[in-house]
Amino acid sequence: MTEHPTHSSPLQVKPRSKPQPVYLNPDDIHRELHKLFPPEKIEQIAKETGLIKRRRILDPVPFLWALILGFGTYLQRTLEGLRRVYNKEADEQIAESSWHGRFTPETVRFLKACTLHALKQTVSEKARTLEDRLQSFLDVFVQDNTVIRLHKVLAKKWPATRSRVVAAGIKVALMISAVANGPATVAIHAERTADVKTIRIGRWIKDRIILFDLGYFKFQLFARVKENGGYFVSRLKDNCDPVFLRSLTVHRGQAIDLAGKNWKDVKDLLQRKTLDAEVELTFSRRIYAGRHTKDSMVLRLVAVYDEEEKDYHVYLTNIPPAVLKAEDVAALYAVRWEIELVFKELKGHYSLDIIKTQKPTIVLGLVWTAILTLIVSRKLYNLLLRSVPAELRPRYPPLRWSIIFVENGQRLLDAMMGNIGFEPPREGDFNRLARTYERDALDPHVKRYRLREGWLA
């Protein structure tokens, strides 16, 4: 007969796995956000824009943070949801009707001014460095627009383009900086505004590259980039027919003599993988004293054969061949996809395309709020990239980060409010956020190709 012990066996506890190293300093999270928007700066902007008068009814500090971390990161993506967030963080009880009345022209000016203030800080930061081939340049910019559909009641104020039914829309023009790893400029236009009119070229473009979509294809724009010491890459429009001056590469065998020929005469005769040549374009300057003046410009035409599409991708640029080979020009232009990912982040995660109100001031207020959410998100994302080892940085893609940022938006808001005295501070909030950001934003696929690899570090 087997004897059983009268006492219970000790519980077998599985030893804990070795904790993973934490690279992100929790104190840096609130330090970065406080540096971006100090409470006294928020108060100053609120007074300057007329958001608050002598008799304060609204506290601008929790108001701004409730909007930034509530809109797009809160489950209730509505004004009512934002009202509840503000009431909780500010410990107030603003009624629904009163809350809707807060979105005035002064509120729009306040949010726009906060955006411009944040952009001045972030665009000057060096979050990433350009690859060796681009060391002679200061930055790479990508400019593009996205359209936001609005309630049809707003069709008279913001009519849609080429719409068969009554519709309304606005256009958000965004320029992304590769070095700052975030937005450099933002503007809101009517949908019918031509893309080329949403950008102004000045001395800021000197020693920088800008990648243009076909919507910006205009010789006068290219000329302004060159005249201000900048560089550009653009796809060639189908109806553009530049004249060849000379080939920039030497080919063996019976190469086509390009000099004096037009692009349309040559393109169907090409048998090489790449074509790299100098071309001349003639164009009209702006009307001055009632007259058009003709001008010409020498640029570089690059054609790279795409095996999948069985066709050439053709580009115009003024980047010298000694700096970038033809294949490099095509590869650099592919970085334009970065701005599509930013628009996907704005619309998919920060609710830029979920604006169902009929009031123009609320529309504009929520658009600026979504942009502010993106700026704050990228601020923390860049902090994370600076904190982790260099070999891990490619495994923190921006879209994956934005998901983690959204999921933890309320936790970050609570921690921020505790840090600036609007809620009782809870010890360890930023520590838990740091561990969550570092752990969950890391892509588990070690060998996955990322678009930025090869151009940015």
User: Residue 366: which residues within 8 A CB-CB, separation 6 or more?
Assistant: 71, 351, 355, 357
pLDDT of residue 284: 82
Quick one: pLDDT at residue 75?
Answer: 37
Those residues whose C-beta lies under 8 Å from the C-beta of residue 372, and which sit 6 or more positions away, are: 64, 67, 68, 111, 114, 115, 118
**Tokens 């000099």 belong to residue:** 259
pLDDT in the model for residue 54: 54
**What's the CA dihedral at 65, 69, 71, 76 to 10 degrees?**
-120
Q: In sequence order, which residues have a C-beta less than 8 Å from that of residue 100 and are 6 or more positions away? A: 79, 362
Q: What is the pTM of this model?
A: 0.86
What is the residue extent of each domain of the chain?
26-123+368-440, 238-302
Q: What is the pLDDT of residue 99?
A: 73
Pair 382, 126: CB distance under 8 Å: no
pLDDT for residue 298:
95
- What is the per-residue pLDDT for 425? 63
Ordered per-residue pLDDT tens for the chain, 457 residues? 444 444 444 545 555 555 566 799 999 999 999 999 999 999 999 999 998 875 567 889 988 998 898 765 443 356 767 777 777 776 777 777 677 777 889 999 999 999 999 999 998 888 888 888 898 999 999 999 999 999 899 999 999 987 778 789 999 999 999 999 999 999 999 999 999 999 999 999 999 999 999 999 999 999 999 999 999 999 999 999 999 999 887 655 556 778 889 999 888 888 788 899 999 998 887 766 666 678 889 999 999 998 888 889 999 999 999 999 999 999 999 989 889 989 998 888 887 877 878 899 989 998 999 999 999 999 999 999 999 998 899 899 999 999 999 989 888 988 988 887 776 667 778 999 999 999 999 998 876 655 455 566 5
Q: What is the pLDDT of residue 288?
A: 64
Q: Would strands 182-190 and 208-212 be described as parallel, antiparallel, or unpaired?
A: unpaired
In a 13 Å sphere around the CA of 219, the CA atoms on its Cβ side amount to: 16
Handedness of CA 435, 437, 440, 442 (dihedral sign): negative
Burial of 354 (0-12, 13-18, 19+ CB in 10 A): middle
Cα(32)–Cα(27) distance, integer angstroms: 9
pLDDT number for residue 297: 92
Sign of the C-alpha dihedral, residues 393, 399, 404, 408? positive
Nearest to 259 by CA among 246, 250, 270: 246
Contact 256, 266 (CB under 8 A): yes
**pLDDT of 142:** 95
Per-residue confidence (pLDDT) for residue 76, from 0 to 100: 39
* Residue 321, φ and ψ in degrees, nearest 5: -65, -25
User: Whole-angstrom Cα distance, residue 298 to residue 219?
Assistant: 11
